[in-house]
Structure 1
Amino acid sequence: MTYKTIRRVHAAMRDDIGDLITQRPVPGPQLDQIDPFLFLNHHGPQVYPAGNRGLPFGPHPHRGFETVTFILDGLLAHRDSAGHESIIGPGGVQWMTAGSGLVHAEVSPQEFMQRGGPLEILQLWVNLPPALKMTAPRYTGLQSDQIPVVETPDGKARLHLVAGEYGGATGPFVSLTGVFMSTVEMQAGARLHLGNLLQRNVFLYVVRGIVRVEPDSVTAFHLCEFEPDGDEIEIIAERDSLILLGHAEPIGAPVVAHGPFVMNTREEINEAIRDYQAGRFGAPI
């Protein structure tokens, strides 16, 4: 067994959306994707005042990939053209397969806009292989108490298992492509080991704190890009930390993106635009 090593550490770039604090580590100036992980927006942390306008993500279309949204703090209301609707609170997760196309809105519920409060959200885009680009859309939203928590052997880390298997537990979200996904709370000195990573790309983003992946220290708002070799990693918390941690087999197909559509060719993008304009992405919301 050999450990994966870090090729490069990428800082998140500040790109606020109105009054929503936003930082984005991928895509960035030196990193297009960590196949199949395409995009990550880190919104907040910030505190909204009472009487706020809420999140700005009104109805908009997607095709060809999945969104995984982690509500670290605050409330997030989801509604889409396939009829799904939910309000998810702190610690909850939304997993949406856009597939062949839908329109969704991610906004703040009335309660949050009236009262205000803290907000921090991560949204990750996960690509789909060519054979699944046009799969039927689906959505699952789960609250924090529906997501299993697994402690590491040293008792100093808590892994919130979203998808995949760890420590005898199985995450409640079923990935179409075998993606492992979690958030991990780590006390200073905690150690987390993952194996069976041969030919899988690791996605490691530090939300808070500082972690070490020998010999590198990685601070908050930074994303690790790993070398492809190796089949295990060990993460050590230098301070109390929170990380977003996933891994998956790379797809290796061409990526052609245009705003909210991610396909394999320019013609497929043009077709997505035509279908959306023709109202083929489901019922209006």
Structure 2
Amino acid sequence: MSEQTALLIEPRLHDLGDGFTVRRLLPFRLRRNVGPFVFFDHIGPAAIAPGRGLDVRPHPHIGLATVTYLYEGALTHRDSLGRDQVIRPGDVNWMTAGRGVVHSERTPAPERARGHRMHGIQTWVALPREFAETAPEFLHHEADSLPFADRDGVRLRVIAGRAFDLESPVRVFSPTLYVDVEMQVGSRLVVPPEHAERAIYVVSGDVDVDGVGVAPTHMQVLADGDVEVRATSTARVLLCGGAPLDGERILWWNFVASSQERIDQAKADWLGQRFGDVPGEAEFIPLPEH
């Protein structure tokens, strides 16, 4: 097991228009992944006016699982497996792409009509090589199915994997750490070295990590050993990580693979429209030129 040292990751902002901002934390030039997490986006928070919404047209994935977790708002997921599912705050949408899947994400009609707030986290989890070509699958888990615990001003909700003697029902392919943490001012949480690679992302509020302040929308990769997190205001953070990847990964557009040849095959398959169709969707995102 390689030694883990602390590293602060600052967000890179992507303006999607209409005041809608995405903050990207992973991949980062000095840290491509934390455990199996190879992509980490913080969406919003944003107020979306009536008549407007998020429209991510059908696009493909391979070699990963996409994980959507919302704090506010709603998204309708549709995919080439025929699944049509609205996700709301606290739910988990876990889509295993495996050898290939296509999906879209759009604001549901009721929220689009009346206007709403949108806030959440989207991550990609790289699949171990032995599962990289597994059959695609989509699973939805309601918020009340996730285990939680209240401990001295700290509420823990395990999104995926195992932590703090709690285990999520979400099926994972390698040891995974993914926990939603709400902290009252002055509360403390000790993060044990249960997982080889760990990071904390500050969604909102102010926290100290081993006595050093970490600002909102920043990610702190944790060093080895017990790490103490203290809330200096009401705060919400995410813990993510898990076992190290079993080798390097290539990320190109929406594809994750262990070889350039597999990336090239995915490009050709999307150009040839061999991934499958999303029922009810006529649009799609073209393959980028670069």
Question: TM-score over 0.5 for the alignment?
Answer: yes
Alpha-carbon separation, structure 2, partners of 1:137 and 1:120:
27
Q: Which residue of 2 aligns with 1:234?
A: 228
Write the letter of the residue equivalent to 1:64: G
- TM-score, normalization: structure 2? 0.89
1:120 shift after superposition:
0.2
1:210-268 Cα offsets, whole Å, 9 max, x none, are: 111113211110011233xx343221111111111123111141211210101111111
- Does residue 280 (structure 1) correspond to residue 274 (structure 2)? The answer is yes
More divergent stretch after superposition (82-91 vs 111-120):
82-91
- Does residue 31 (structure 1) correspond to residue 31 (structure 2)? The answer is yes
Alpha-carbon separation, structure 1, partners of 2:43 and 2:278:
27
Q: Which residue of 1 aligns with 2:265?
A: 271
Write the letter of the residue equivalent to 2:100: G
Q: Which residue of 2 aligns with 1:14?
A: 13
For residues 265 and 5 of structure 1, do their structure 2 counterparts lie closer, same or farther at Cα, with a shift above 3 Å needed? closer
- Does residue 262 (structure 1) correspond to residue 256 (structure 2)? The answer is yes
Alpha-carbon separation, structure 2, partners of 1:196 and 1:25:
22
- Does residue 84 (structure 1) correspond to residue 83 (structure 2)? The answer is yes
- On the 8 A contact 1:6/1:216 being kept in 2, the answer is no
| 1:116-135 equivalence runs, <5 A | 116-135=115-134
Moved over 4 A (4+): none
SS of 1:114's equivalent in the other structure is: helix
For residues 78 and 284 of structure 1, do their structure 2 counterparts lie closer, same or farther at Cα, with a shift above 3 Å needed? closer
Alpha-carbon separation, structure 2, partners of 1:118 and 1:245:
24
- TM-score, normalization: structure 1? 0.90
Aligned match of 2:168 in 142, 149, 171? 171
| 1:1-285 equivalence runs, <5 A | 7-19=6-18, 20-52=20-52, 54-152=53-151, 154=152, 156-197=153-194, 200-227=196-223, 230-285=224-279
- On the 8 A contact 1:92/1:142 being kept in 2, the answer is yes
Alpha-carbon separation, structure 2, partners of 1:209 and 1:78:
30
Alpha-carbon separation, structure 1, partners of 2:278 and 2:37:
29
1:45 shift after superposition:
0.5
Identity %, equivalent residues: 33
- On the 8 A contact 1:147/1:171 being kept in 2, the answer is yes
1:93 shift after superposition:
1.8
Alpha-carbon separation, structure 2, partners of 1:171 and 1:73:
21
Alpha-carbon separation, structure 2, partners of 1:284 and 1:202:
35
Which ranges of structure 1 fall in alignment gaps of 5 or more residues?
none
Write the letter of the residue equivalent to 1:150: A
Alpha-carbon separation, structure 2, partners of 1:231 and 1:137:
36
- On the 8 A contact 1:68/1:96 being kept in 2, the answer is yes
Write the letter of the residue equivalent to 2:140: G
- On the 8 A contact 1:37/1:203 being kept in 2, the answer is no
1:151-203 Cα offsets, whole Å, 9 max, x none, are: 12x2x0111111233454321212111212111111111112232436x1102
For residues 137 and 203 of structure 1, do their structure 2 counterparts lie closer, same or farther at Cα, with a shift above 3 Å needed? farther
Aligned residues: 276
For residues 5 and 283 of structure 1, do their structure 2 counterparts lie closer, same or farther at Cα, with a shift above 3 Å needed? closer
Write the letter of the residue equivalent to 1:145: D
Q: CA RMSD in A?
A: 1.9
SS of 1:247's equivalent in the other structure is: strand
- On the 8 A contact 2:75/2:107 being kept in 1, the answer is yes
Write the letter of the residue equivalent to 1:69: T
More divergent stretch after superposition (215-224 vs 165-174):
165-174
1:86 shift after superposition:
0.7
Alpha-carbon separation, structure 1, partners of 2:140 and 2:92:
6
